[in-house]
Each structure stands twice: as C-alpha cells, then as structure tokens.
C-alpha cells in the first residue's frame, strides 16, 4: 500500500505536465498562403438565398480533389446559408447567399462592400472582393434616324441624349467606312469603330459625321451607324446615312447648248422646243419624244421667236430681219427686211406678222408683199407701244406690253383692219417681261409676283381681274415671288412655274400648282450643272429661265443656265425631267 | 482479491484508532461561480458563446492533501488542487468593429488551475468502531492559472497567479485501519487580476479590469481514497 502514494503523486504530476504543453502556440508560427480571386462578386439585394458559383480552376485548388472550405470573413450585409462547404475536383466553388437591402445610389464607381475570405483546406485563404454596381438605367434617344449628306454637305450632325438617371454606355458597333464620326465636345476627336463611350445621366452629346467621298465611286451610297447601348429599351440605335458622290459629268438628261439663249417657245402639238441663241446665232429645236436636237445657224443674231398660228412656221425676229422656218425641217421659208432689231413678233392670222422694235413701236409686214408699216405713229392718246406681243387666239386682238418699263402697261389693240391697228384699251399695270398664259389663253400669269389674272378682253373694265396667286414656298415675310416663266398643262391641269431666285436665296426650284385653286403640288430642286472653268470642272447651281411640259404632262423640259455669284457666263443647257409618276 | 478479503476480515475484528497522518487523493467535479468571465465582445451568435461559457463553468477537479494530526481532532498539512475546464464553439460570428465585415471563428478555451498551500484540517472519528471520520480543512496558498485560447486564427496562452483559499468538509469511511474512502464538498476561492499573455512570440503582461478578471472560484464535490498511518 505504501507504493500507492508515489503512484498517485506521479499521476498528479503527469496531469500537471500535460497541462503545461505549449506546443499549441506553434500554430501561430505557421504561415498561411493567401490568394485574391481575380474577379469580383457583384451583389444586389435579394430576399431569397441565391446560388453563387466560381470557377477556381486557374487557382489550382487541390486539383481533382474535393476540398472543404470555411467562411472566415464576409461582408455583414451578406448571409450564408452555410458557413462551410466543398469545392469539387474541377475547382467549382458554390455557396448560397442572400443580401440585405442597402442604400444604392447611381454611380459609375462600384460600391465596395467588403471581402469574403474562405479558408480552404490544403490551399490557404482565398479573398473574394464583393461589390455592388449601380450605373442606373439610362434612356437613349437619337435626334436623327436619317442623315442625308447629299452631294455637297461637308458634315451633318446628330445628337445622342440620355434622359434618365443612369450612365449610358454606347459602343460604335458599325459605321460605313466612308464616314468619320467626331464628338463635338472633344477636340480633334474620332469615334472609332468598336470603341465605347459614356454619357452621363440627363445629358446629351453631339456627333459630326464627315463623309469621305474620295474613296467612293460616283452614285448614291447608303450605310448604317449602329450604336449598341446599355439602355434595356434601346439596346441598338440606328442611323441611316446617305451620301451622293458626283461624277463631274452631266447626265444624259442634260443637253448642253452653245451661246446665250435669247428666247424659247414650245409646240405642244409636236412636243418640240424651239430656241434661239446668240454667239453663235442659232435656231435650235429639241423634239422631246425622239430626244432629237436640230440646229440651224442663222446669218444674224436672233432676238425673238414665235410660232405661226398654224404651228407650221417658226417666226424669228433678228437684227434687221424677220425670217420664218419650217418647224418640221427648219428650212427657211420667208425673209423680210426690217431695218432694225425686232424685239418681238407674232402671227396676226390675217396675212401679216406684227412685230416691235427697241423703241416699243409696233410694225407689221404683209407676207405677200413684204410691205412694212409702222403703226405707232398717231396722236399720243392712241399711241400703241410695246416690245412684247401676244396674239389672242381666234380674235383680231393683240396685247402689247413693255419689257423694261414699270409698270409694263397692257395695251389691247384691235387688228380687225390688218393695216390699221387700233388701240382698244390700256391698263396701267403689267405682268412682267413676257405674256405667259394658260393653254386656252383665258388666264395670264405675272412673273412679277406670281399673281394670276383673267386675260383682258373688250369687256374688261378699268381693272384686270385677279383670280389667285402662285406661291412657290411658304414665307413669313416675302410677298413678291419672282418667276422667270410659266407653263400650263391642260392635260394634267397643272401650272408649272420656274422660280426666279436670287442667288443668295438659294431657291433654285420649279414648282407645280393645280390650275383650279393654285395650290402647290410639287417642288423640284434643280440639279447642279457641271461646267468647266479654267480647266477645272465643278458643279454650279442652276436656274430655269424657261420651262415646258410635254403635251401629256409626263416630261418637263427646263431651259437653264448656271446661277452663280462669282461666275457670269453662258452655260445654257436643256434638262429633261421625267414627271410621270410623281 | 486476496488482499481485499484480508482487509475486510481485519476491519471486522478491530476498532479504529485516530490516525496520525492522513493522506487524501480525490477526484470530482466542480462548478465555477463566475457566470461569463470569458465573454467576448461583439459576438453576434451569442447562443454559441453562451454554450461555451456554460462548458467553461463545469470543472474537473483533482486534489490531494496530507495532514498530520497533532491532536486527535485536528492537524496541519499541505493541500494541492488541480482543476480543468474547457469548451469550444464552432462558427462563432464576431463583429470586428470595422462596420463592414463579420468574422467567423472557432473558439476553444482550456483553463488549468493548480493550487498548493498550507492546510489546517480536522478529523473526528464517530461511531462505535470509529469507522466514520468527519473531515474538514481550510487551505491557503498560491494558485497558478493557465488558459489556452484559440480564437480568430490565433493561439494564446494566458498565465497568471494569485493567492487563493480552499475550504472543505467531508466524511471518511475506514474499511481498514490504513485505508478508507472519502467524500468531500469544498469551495475554492481565487481570482486572477494580472495575467501574462503570449502567442509564442510576443508576450505581454496585462492587469485586468474588474469585469475582466478571471474568477476561478468554484464549489466542488469529490470522492477519493484515504490512507491513514497510526
């Protein structure tokens, strides 16, 4: 029994020694490997547990083995369904979390919410950054869906607007190669394909589109600008871009003319235009149906033309001469010596041609005898004046006017006695440098202001009755709309007017009106004309000085010249415009 | 078995004398008075730590003493007490105070206490054959604390020492003139106000605030073997 005491003492000491073992402190000296995941866990408030999966294959976490992990740290707004779990042999880490609601303001910068740290057996500590990203929800809008750069525009602009509280990211996903995009607010900027830009909430930005026509063949080209955005309602914004590349060649529908066009007429019976030019002195016909141009050189400079009442002859007034030509053959038929420049001429349908000189004096020549009579001489009250003549069809009546006097004055002359014209009436008004009428001559158009009048007759009182006005475009301040010529097409019930634009106005147009209420039906912008100046071809604005429609109203023939500030030259040409279906 | 039979036969025939020396070796359990002496601040999952604290209140107790009876009923001697408490809690969530994170940790704590001191003891034999001895002791000495902590990935050793006291009452049954069995109910009183903390590399001493002091006071019930020398 005496041995019992030492045994008890030894047992007690062993217990004491066991309790004095400090080896557990060695754990503090062990180094733990730490890794930061090359990625971020972005979270949003969720009331339910949501599965989150990471692929840790790149980290070589105990490859091909199942590893256990423990969560050792996590952001306090997170809740883990379990604070431990497993990573499978392929490195797939999965856990379920839910996220408490938290204040989230729209910001471009991610909100750092902390770090999850996992202690993975046999691997070490793995840190997973946790962030919240709330760029808001933008709303993108474009100012334009179509940008037409036409043939001359250097650039066009469109605006991208973000009308909501969200950052708008937009990527230039596509654009035609022949345009360059430049952001207005960025100096020497070029918005490159596949690049992404940012637009702040409730803001807008503008882009210039600059075409590079040099790399394109002649013709019309169309392409699309596509912006991909983070706007959920408008993930793709599309703008169609058009550009026209000129060939610096006039199309076949433009027929160049030599010299300066002095006067033009049109015969609707044969669809034939008749022109006279100076320098060179020529008589030109252009047959619309056959697209055939005929030219006859004249011995003297012509000054006016008119068709005979039977539409068989072209009467040409010229310097010191009146000549007539067969419309169909352009063979000269008659020649009368006048001794002066004939300013206008008309067929009196009484065996005489009536004509005027530069002194506004009225003459006639008897076709059989070639006798020329001056009808202006007489007492001044009955003096007949004019260098503009209009023979009213089926009536022994002439209307005279003065080109360069204001007002032009309207003289009504009775030619029932062919050799002794008699002044019937005079109205102190005018309709411009030429009488333009409807086909039936019932209405007169004024080139001064576009007004339409009833053609005066013997019953017309002191005032020539106005019936309407042709207004070529809407304007808040203009009242006088100058025209250079008119054409009435009875078949289509259309009145065409060639607007006499000032260059500065830039309204190089011809306009169609209905002949009942004079409403504007259609406007055609005149094509530019390629003209060679000092060896360099360029496009020039044009203006129509005469216009004619074919008898069926399907074609429009324009007699044009270039219309330029700095270029005063003769580049006269015809242009044929098909107006069938428009 | 032969020894046991011999002892029983002998005791059945002889009346016991009061011993001169009494050796005691006992083991049992104890309950610490302190309720949450190891409380960790900012613990979120308090249910787990509450469980840990309850584990830490339950102590295993070993003690031994030797008393020389100067007179028939009292004497002096030395007293040794060892008690151990431990507990752990897995996946305890703690707020580190950065306003952003929670930390998850496993907590483990093992506390060892060794006490040695001088003891004043009493022994009163009762009964016709004096087989029952009523015992008591009051000990004063020095107590050594060793606390092994594991928390938030760190192992810490906390040691300390202080004067302490122990008081016991009990009863012995002498089934042999030299041997007996005893049961003791005692209370230990000791608090540690100053500790040394080390992680194996760095060591620091820390004076504990009143609410941080380690209170090892407990009540314990032990049973054990007694050896008497006449």
B154, B157, B160, B166 alpha-carbon torsion, rounded to 10°: 110
- Asked if A377 reaches chain B (Cβ–Cβ under 8 Å), the answer is no
Mean pLDDT of all residues in chain A? 90
Whether B11 shows a pLDDT value over 50: the answer reads no
**Domain residue spans in chain A?**
33-132, 140-245, 470-582
Which fold, A140-245?
Answer: Immunoglobulin-like (2.60.40)
CB spacing of B103 vs A73 below 8 angstroms? yes
DSSP state of A14: H
List chain B residues with CB under 8 Å of A27. Answer: 150, 155
- A115 CB within 8 Å of a chain B CB: yes
Q: B104, B106, B108, B201: best mutation site toward chain A, by most A Cβ within 10 Å?
A: B104
Nearest residue of A to residue B152 by CA position?
Answer: A72
| Distances from the Cα of B73 to the Cα of A371, B126, B131, B166, B226, angstroms | 185, 11, 14, 19, 16
pLDDT band for position A63 (cuts 50, 70, 90): low
Q: Is residue A223 predicted with pLDDT exceeding 60?
A: yes
Range of the domain at B56: 2-229
Rg (CA), chain A: 46
What is the CATH classification number for the domain harbouring B141? 2.40.160.20
A28 contact residues in B (CB cutoff 8 A): 154-155, 199-201
Please give the average per-residue pLDDT across B6-17, as a whole number. Answer: 53
Rounded average pLDDT over A300-316? 95
Kindly state the average pLDDT of the residues A179-186: 86
Does B13 have pLDDT greater than 80? no
For A565, residues 6+ apart whose C-beta sits below 8 A from its C-beta are A503, A504
Q: What is the pLDDT of residues B54-65, one digit of tens each?
A: 899 999 999 999
B93 neighbors B143 (Cβ within 8 angstroms): no
pTM (predicted TM-score): 0.57
Tell me which residue of B121, B123, B113, B160 sits closest to B140, measured CA to CA: B121
- Hunting for tokens 């106000």 — which residue is that? B193
Please say whether the beta carbons of B123 and B146 come within 8 A. Answer: no
User: Which of A12, A25, A114 has its CB closest to that of B82?
Assistant: A12
Please check the confidence at residue A402 and state whether its pLDDT lies above 70.
yes
| Residue in chain B nearest A116 by alpha carbon | B101
Question: Residue B26: closest CA among chain A residues belongs to which residue?
Answer: A8
Closest residue to A114, CB basis, from B23, B101, B155: B101
Cα A267 from Cα A330, distance rounded (Å): 14
Residue A60 has pLDDT above 50, yes or no: yes
Going from the C-alpha of A519 to that of each of A454, A522, A526, the distances in angstroms are 18, 9, 20
Q: Residues A420, A362: contact at Cβ < 8 Å? A: no
A-chain residues within 8 Å CB-CB of B200? 22, 25-26, 28-29
Residues of B in contact with A116 (CB under 8 A): none
Torsions phi, psi for A182 (to 5 deg): -140, 130
**pLDDT level of residue A14 (50, 70, 90 thresholds):** low
- Three-state SS at A144: coil
Measured CA angle at A382 (ends A379, A385), to 5 deg: 105
At residue A152, the pLDDT reads 82
Nearest to A139 by CA among A203, A231, A43, A241: A231
Given this model, what pLDDT does residue B39 score? Answer: 53
pLDDT (0 to 100) of residue B200: 87
First to last CA, chain A: 133
Candidates B62, B150, B227; nearest CB to A15: B62
How far out from the chain centre does Cα B90 lie?
27
Write the CB contacts of A459 (distance below 8 Å, at least 6 apart in sequence): none
Is A82 in CB contact (< 8 Å) with chain B?
A: no
- H or E element at residue B151: strand B132-151
Q: How far is B91 from chain A (nearest CA, A)?
A: 7
Q: B157 contacts in A (CB within 8 Å)? A: 22, 24-25
Nearest to B227 among A1, A22, A70 (CB): A1
As a whole number of angstroms, the distance between CA A364 and CA A352 comes to 6
Mean pLDDT over A532-559 rounds to 91
- Looking at the DSSP assignment, which residues form a beta bridge with residue B117? B79, B141
Residues in chain A, total: 582
Please tell me which of the candidates B104, B112, B148 has its beta carbon nearest to residue A72.
B104
A33-132: CATH number: 2.60.40
Rounded CA-CA distance A481/A518 in Å is 14
Q: Is the Cβ pair B157, A25 closer than 8 Å?
A: yes
Task: Tell me if residue B2 falls in helix, strand or coil.
Answer: helix
CA B228 → CA A123, B51, B130, distances in Å?
Answer: 60, 43, 13
Interface probe, candidates B60, B100, B156, chain A, greatest A C-beta count within 10 A: B100
Nearest CB to B84: which of A5, A19, A75?
A19
- For residue B60, the chain A residues in CB contact (below 8 A) are none
User: Chain B partners of A1 at a C-beta cutoff of 8 Å?
Assistant: 178-179, 227
Q: What percent of chain A has pLDDT over 70?
A: 92
Q: What is the ipTM of this complex?
A: 0.79
Residues B102, A27: C-beta atoms closer than 8 Å: no
Joined tokens for residue A258: 């030599």
A540, A528 contact by CB (below 8 A): yes
Query: What DSSP letter does each residue of A203-242 carry, written as one string?
Result: EEEEEEEEE-GGGS-SEEEEEEEEEEES-TT-SEEEEEEE
The dihedral region occupied by A378, where left means phi > 0, alpha psi between -120 and 50, and beta the remainder, is left
Taking alpha carbons only, the member of A513, A507, A467, A463 closest to residue A488 is A513
Max avg pLDDT among A413-422, A562-571, B9-18: A413-422
Tokens 């047992």, located at residue: A11
For residue range B137-163, list pLDDT tens digits in order. Answer: 999 999 999 999 998 888 999 999 999
Residue B202 to chain A, least CA–CA distance (Å)? 11
How far apart, in whole angstroms, are the C-alpha atoms of residue A401 and residue A412? 9
Residue B3 has pLDDT above 50, yes or no: no
pLDDT band at A27 (very low <50, low <70, confident <90, very high): confident
CB of B46 less than 8 A from some CB of A: no
Please, which residues 109-168 of chain B have a Cβ atom closer than 8 Å to chain A?
A: 112, 114, 146, 148, 150, 153-155, 157
Nearest CA to A114 out of A71, A75, A83, A72 is that of A75
Distance (Å, rounded) from C-alpha A436 to C-alpha A487? 8
User: Average of pLDDT values for A12-28?
Assistant: 71
Interface touch B199/A28, C-beta < 8 Å: yes
- The residues that bridge with A52 in the sheet, in sequence order, are A95
Chain B contact for A69 (CB, 8 A cutoff): no
Q: How far is CA A573 from CA A283, A286, A306, A342, in A?
A: 14, 12, 20, 25
Q: Which position has the token pair 């930061």?
A: A36
Burial of A273 (0-12, 13-18, 19+ CB in 10 A): buried
Q: What is the band of B38 on the pLDDT scale with cuts at 50, 70, 90?
A: very low
Q: B19 in helix, strand or coil?
A: coil
Q: Shortest Cα distance from A15 to chain B (angstroms)?
A: 9
Which residue, among A287, A161, A199, A351, has the nearest Cα to A574 in the 3D structure?
A287
CA-CA distance, B112 to A21, in Å (whole number)?
11
Give yes or no for A113 touching B (CB within 8 A).
Answer: yes
Task: Say if B177 is an interface residue toward chain A (CB within 8 Å).
Answer: no
Report the alpha-carbon angle B13-B17-B21, nearest 5: 130
Whether residues A25 and B199 touch (CB distance < 8 A) is answered with yes
Residue A31 near residue A64, CB atoms below 8 Å: no
The answer to whether B164 and B115 have CB atoms below 8 angstroms apart is yes
d(CA B228, CA A6): 15
Number of domains in chain B: 1
Compare B107 and A66 and report the one with higher pLDDT: B107
From the list A12, A24, A76, the residue facing B155 with the nearest CB is A24
Residues 6+ apart with CB under 8 A from A564: A503, A540, A541
Residue A542 and residue A531 in contact, taking contact as beta carbons nearer than 8 Å: no
Subunit contact B25:A19, Cβ cutoff 8 A: no
B145: enclosing H helix or E strand:
strand B132-151
Contacts across the A-B interface (CB distance below 8 Å) = 78
* Chain B stretch 75-114, residues whose beta carbon is closer than 8 A to a beta carbon of chain A: 80, 82, 84, 91, 95, 99-105, 112, 114
Q: Do the strands A203-211 and A179-183 form a parallel or antiparallel pair, or are they unpaired? A: antiparallel
Q: How far apart are CA B73 and CA B122, in angstroms?
A: 5
End-to-end CA distance of chain B: 24
Q: Flag whether residue A1 sits within 8 Å of chain B, measured between CB atoms.
A: yes
User: Once rounded to an integer, what is the mean pLDDT over residues B76-86?
Assistant: 95
Q: How far is residue A247 from each of residues A148, A242, A461, measured CA to CA in Å?
A: 18, 16, 57
Instruction: Report the run of H or E that residue A8 belongs to, with start and end.
Output: helix A4-18
What's the DSSP call for residue A136? B
């Amino acid at each position: 029994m005496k041995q019992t005491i030492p045994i008890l003492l030894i047992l007690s000491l062993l217990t004491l020694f066991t309790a004095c073992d400090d080896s557990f402190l060695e754990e503090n000296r062990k180094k733990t490997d730490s890794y930061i995941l090359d990625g971020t866990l972005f979270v949003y408030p969720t009331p339910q547990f949501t599965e989150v999966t990471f692929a840790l294959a790149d980290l070589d976490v105990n490859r091909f083995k199942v590893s256990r992990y423990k969560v050792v740290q996590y952001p306090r707004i997170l809740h883990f369904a379990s604070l431990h779990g497993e990573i499978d042999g392929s490195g797939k880490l999965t856990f379920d979390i839910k996220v408490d609601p938290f204040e989230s303001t729209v910001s471009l910068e991610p909100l750092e919410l902390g770090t999850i740290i996992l202690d993975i057996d046999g691997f070490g500590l793995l840190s997973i950054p946790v962030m919240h990203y709330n760029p808001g929800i933008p709303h993108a809008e474009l100012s334009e869906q179509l940008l037409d750069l036409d043939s001359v525009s250097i650039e066009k602009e469109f605006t991208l607007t973000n009308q909501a509280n969200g950052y708008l990211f937009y990527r230039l996903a596509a654009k035609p190669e022949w345009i360059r995009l430049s952001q207005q607010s960025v100096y020497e900027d070029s918005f490159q394909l596949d690049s992404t830009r940012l637009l702040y909430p409730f803001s807008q930005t503008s882009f210039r589109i600059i075409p590079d026509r040099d790399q394109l063949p002649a013709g019309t080209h169309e392409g699309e600008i596509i912006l991909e955005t983070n706007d959920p309602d408008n993930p793709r914004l599309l703008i169609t871009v058009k550009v026209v590349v000129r060939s610096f060649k006039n199309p076949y529908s433009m027929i160049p003319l030599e010299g300066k066009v002095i006067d033009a007429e049109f015969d609707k019976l044969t669809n034939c235009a008749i022109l006279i030019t100076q320098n060179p002195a020529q008589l030109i016909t252009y047959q619309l149906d056959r697209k055939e141009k005929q030219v006859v050189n004249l011995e003297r400079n012509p000054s006016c033309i008119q068709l005979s009442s039977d539409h068989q002859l072209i009467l040409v007034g010229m310097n010191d001469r009146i000549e007539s030509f067969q419309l169909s053959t352009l063979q000269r038929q008659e020649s009368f010596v006048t001794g002066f420049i004939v300013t206008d001429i008309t067929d009196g349908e009484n065996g005489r041609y009536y004509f005027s000189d530069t002194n506004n004096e009225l003459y006639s020549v008897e076709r059989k005898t070639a006798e020329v009579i001056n009808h202006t001489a007489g007492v001044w009250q009955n003096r007949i004046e004019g260098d503009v003549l209009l023979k009213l069809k089926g009536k022994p009546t002439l209307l005279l006017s003065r080109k360069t006097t204001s007002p032009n004055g309207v003289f009504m002359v009775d030619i029932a006695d062919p050799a002794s014209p008699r002044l019937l009436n005079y109205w102190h008004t005018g309709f411009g440098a030429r009488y333009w009428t409807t086909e039936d001559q019932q209405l007169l158009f004024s080139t001064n202001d576009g007004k339409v009048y009833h053609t005066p007759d013997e019953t017309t009182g002191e005032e020539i009755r106005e019936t309407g006005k042709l207004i070529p475009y809407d304007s808040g301040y203009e009242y006088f709309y100058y025209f250079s010529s008119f054409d009435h097409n009875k078949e289509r019930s259309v009145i065409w007017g060639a607007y006499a634009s000032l260059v500065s106005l830039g309204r190089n147009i011809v306009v169609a009106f209905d002949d009942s209420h004079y409403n504007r039906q259609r406007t055609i912008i005149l094509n530019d004309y390629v003209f060679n100046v000092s060896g360099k071809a360029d496009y020039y604005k044009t203006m129509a000085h005469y216009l004619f429609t074919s008898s069926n109203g399907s074609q429009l023939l324009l007699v044009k010249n270039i219309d330029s500030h700095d270029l005063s030259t003769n580049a006269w040409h015809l242009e044929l415009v098909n107006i069938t279906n428009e | 078995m032969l020894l046991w039979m011999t002892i029983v036969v002998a005791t059945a025939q002889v009346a016991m004398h009061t011993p001169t020396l009494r050796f005691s070796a006992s083991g049992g359990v104890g309950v610490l008075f302190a309720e949450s002496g190891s409380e960790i601040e900012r613990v979120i999952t308090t249910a787990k730590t509450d469980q840990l604290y309850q584990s830490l209140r339950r102590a295993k107790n070993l003690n031994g003493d030797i008393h020389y009876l100067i007179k028939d009923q009292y004497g002096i001697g030395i007293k040794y007490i060892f008690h151990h408490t431990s507990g752990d809690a897995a996946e305890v969530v703690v707020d580190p105070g950065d306003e952003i994170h929670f930390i998850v940790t496993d907590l483990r704590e093992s506390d060892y206490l060794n006490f040695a001191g001088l003891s004043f003891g009493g022994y009163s034999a009762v009964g016709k054959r004096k087989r029952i001895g009523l015992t008591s002791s009051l000990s004063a000495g020095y107590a050594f604390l060793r606390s092994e902590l594991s928390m938030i990935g760190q192992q810490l050793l906390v040691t300390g020492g202080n004067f302490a006291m122990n008081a016991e009452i009990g009863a012995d049954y002498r089934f042999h003139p030299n041997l007996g069995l005893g049961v003791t109910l005692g209370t230990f009183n000791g608090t540690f106000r100053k500790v040394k903390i080390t992680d194996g590399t760095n060591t620091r001493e820390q004076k504990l605030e009143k609410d941080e002091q380690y209170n090892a006071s407990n009540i314990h019930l032990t049973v054990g073997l007694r050896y008497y020398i006449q």
